[in-house]
């Protein structure tokens, strides 16, 4: 088993519980880790035997381009797309951070971590 991670992906997107958040948008950060068998890729040195990082980024980008109310839902959608695209994925963990969330006080970011 092995772990593939993409960390610190940044997006400007229109997620949020409040309608105003879905109009003005915000900055988000995504960290992603995937547990899968990397033995064949390690022994063959062939991209076709692993999960392509560029494709992963594009999957995340696709989810981020659609409006969602909850960070939990964003993470869940990313997990569903990855598991639906790649066979042999044991577990996906996604951290979704929203910068400067509207909580009525100072907060650098709100973060939700979901696994599936």
Crossing angle of helices 71-85 and 53-64, in 10° steps, is 140
The answer to whether 111 and 100 have CB atoms below 8 angstroms apart is no
- How many Å apart are CA 99 and CA 31, to the nearest integer? 14
C-alpha dihedral, 96 to 60 to 64 to 77, nearest 10°: -70
Distance between CA atoms of 93 and 42, rounded to whole angstroms?
22
Residues marked active site are found at 98
């Amino acid at each position: 088993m092995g772990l593939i991670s993409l960390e610190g992906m940044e997006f400007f997107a229109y997620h949020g519980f409040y309608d105003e958040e879905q109009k003005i948008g915000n900055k988000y950060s995504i960290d992603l880790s995937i547990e899968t068998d990397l033995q064949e890729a390690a022994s063959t040195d062939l991209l076709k035997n692993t999960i392509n990082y560029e494709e992963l980024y594009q999957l995340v980008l696709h989810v981020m381009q659609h409006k969602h109310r909850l960070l939990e839902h964003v993470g869940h959608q990313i997990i569903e797309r990855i598991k639906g695209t790649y066979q042999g994925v044991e577990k996906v963990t996604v951290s979704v951070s929203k910068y400067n969330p509207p909580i009525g006080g100072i907060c650098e970011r709100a973060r939700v971590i979901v696994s599936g």
